[in-house]
Amino acid sequence: MRVRGGTEKEKLVRYRLRFVLQELDLPQGGTIIGRSLDCHLTLEDPLVSRRHARIVVDDSGARIEDMGSRNGVRVNGAVIRDPVSLRNGDRVRIGTQDFVFCCVDPAGNTHSRTTGQLRLCANCRLPYPRELLACPSCEATEQTDDDTLTGSDRVTAHVWNLQLMIESLERALRMARIEDAERIVQRAIVQAEEVIGAGSSLDAETLGGLSVQAVAMSLASGDPAWAHWVLDIHGRTGRIPPIDVTEQLAGVATQHRTLICDAIDELLRRVEASHDAAAGERPASDEPAVPAASETDEIEGLVRLRALRRTLHEAEALAAVAPKAARHLPTA
């Protein structure tokens, strides 16, 4: 991240943006945020547009507006359509970066504390100033090319990033921008794996949304790897894919039947083993269990997945028999 602008003494500063290890003073007038070096605040993030957003400070307060960015601006998790007034403590999301808007006492310390660009430690995944030779948290010297993740809760940051990437992936696929979509889905899968690798779990909505777009990516590109990952991640987490994902998988299987069939077999083996283990731990009860809505959806998803597996196995059997039948056709 780079900061460009005048000195702190030029105008009275009443507001700041807090960004991980930095605080940026917001002077009277407009502060443009984007990927371009011409912006007052430059973010090195591929999900940030060249001129992404503008924060305007005047006598009535501070407000933020989207400057026609591709991926939008979020304030407290909601995408803004029109200029929005900012209040103390508001969280602003631009690209994959989180900022906190702060009101400061005009009589207090108004100097910005900037540390230039940040890099991300490849070992502990915490950001630190590029001027340092090693990470101050773990003393590692290896950096990653990933963009800086912000916020004290890294898992929460990953989930936020995933939600934004899912929206971007859907948009890229809708516009048939396959190369862009491929880059986004690769980054999204890395984020998802890091959440799970940290011992946390993805909520069903986020995993389901990513799964839908990943399988759509396989359909658009002809590469079954994304669909295979969806089946694998559900198997490793003991979950059943949503019904719409299973319906998409049928399309992928028309070109990659054996690969998808084997992956579904492995998923069902894992899920059924997990369910059997969970059932053995439940206390016996005379009352019939009433499934929750989520359990009903899971049961329906399991039925659909088993039906798809049966269809694929039948197709495999027919394909194996067809060459033998052809050899026995009578000749003229």
39 pLDDT above the threshold of 70: yes
149 pLDDT above the threshold of 90: no
283 pLDDT above the threshold of 70: no
187 pLDDT above the threshold of 70: yes
Of the ranges 15-19, 159-163, 271-275, the best mean pLDDT one: 15-19
Residue 41: C-alpha distances to residues 23, 53, 67, 77, 106 (Å): 12, 10, 14, 21, 22
Contact yes or no for 54/31 (Cβ under 8 A): yes
Contacts of 300 (CB under 8 A, 6+ apart): 243
Taking the CB of residue 188, how many other CB atoms lie within 10 A of it?
26
* Local confidence band at 244 (pLDDT 50, 70, 90 cut-offs): very high
Cα–Cα distance between 73 and 237 in angstroms, integer? 32
Cα–Cα distance between 89 and 24 in angstroms, integer? 14
> Looking at residue 9, what is its pLDDT?
44
Residue with the bigger pLDDT between 294 and 176: it is: 176
- Helix, coil or strand: residue 58: strand
> Looking at residue 129, what is its pLDDT?
52
Helix (H) or strand (E) holding 255: none
> Looking at residue 54, what is its pLDDT?
96
325 pLDDT above the threshold of 90: no
| Average pLDDT estimate for 16-30 | 81
Q: What is the pTM of this model?
A: 0.53
Q: In the beta sheet, which residues pair with residue 74?
A: 79, 93
Beta strand segments in the chain, E: 2-3, 15-19, 22-26, 29-34, 41-42, 53-58, 61-66, 73-75, 78-79, 84-85, 91-94, 97-103, 118-121, 127-129, 143-144
> Looking at residue 109, what is its pLDDT?
46
Taking the CB of residue 316, how many other CB atoms lie within 10 A of it?
14
> Looking at residue 67, what is its pLDDT?
95
> Looking at residue 213, what is its pLDDT?
94
| Average pLDDT estimate for 228-232 | 93
CA dihedral 187, 190, 192, 197 (to 10 degrees): -160
Q: Which residue in this structure is represented by tokens 């979509």?
A: 181
* Local confidence band at 10 (pLDDT 50, 70, 90 cut-offs): very low
Cα–Cα distance between 32 and 3 in angstroms, integer? 10
| Average pLDDT estimate for 261-286 | 73
